[in-house]
Amino acid sequence: VEEVAWALKDFSHCLYLGRGINMPTAYEGALKLKEISYIHAEGYPAGEMKHGPIALIDENMPIVVIAPRDPWYEKMFSQIEQAKARGGIVVAVATEGDDVIPTIADHVLWVPPTPWMLSPVTTVIPLQILAYHIAALRGLDVDQPRNLAKSVTVE
């Protein structure tokens, strides 16, 4: 994870893509990156990438793709390939033992094999650790992020 953090620490923007039950994982990964590293990040449904985010992808926009072995696994290949075709740096969260993702992504964050319905439990962890390391490399206080409240009050 630290190696990937070094590769991403100087970017100003980052796009997170997920599908199915890992769509919320993409949202959480982007939120965590924003909260503690102050990098603009957005989570987006991978199937909707062509409706906006694709226009932003270039060598200055890294893409984090949540791609464990699940029912949507093979559909993520086209998103990775489209991002690579536009110069994007692709970080994939993939299942250990995957032999395809490492051939098309620039970096891989590995998670253990898990029943697909439980995959969000494992795929979110490397994203949280990645955000932590990026913030630390940027010299930020990860224990007290600015303007962040520990609780939310609804009125």
pLDDT at site 51 = 84
Per DSSP (E only), the strands in 19-153 are: 40-45, 63-67, 90-95, 107-111
What angle separates helix 119-137 from helix 23-37, to the nearest 10 degrees?
20
pLDDT band at 153 (very low <50, low <70, confident <90, very high): low
Average pLDDT taken over every residue of the chain: 94
Q: Give the mean pLDDT of 20-46.
A: 97
Q: Which CATH architecture has domain 2-137?
A: 3-Layer(aba) Sandwich (3.40)
User: Which region, left, alpha or beta, applies to residue 76 given φ > 0 means left and ψ of -120 to 50 means alpha?
Assistant: alpha
Q: Cβ distance 85 to 91 under 8 Å? A: no
8 Å CB contact between 5 and 130 = yes
Say how many residues make up the chain: 155
Q: Give the position of tokens 């939310």.
A: 152
Q: For residue 152, what pLDDT is reported?
A: 63
pLDDT tens-digit series, residues 49-101:
888 889 999 999 999 999 999 999 999 999 999 999 999 999 999 999 999 99
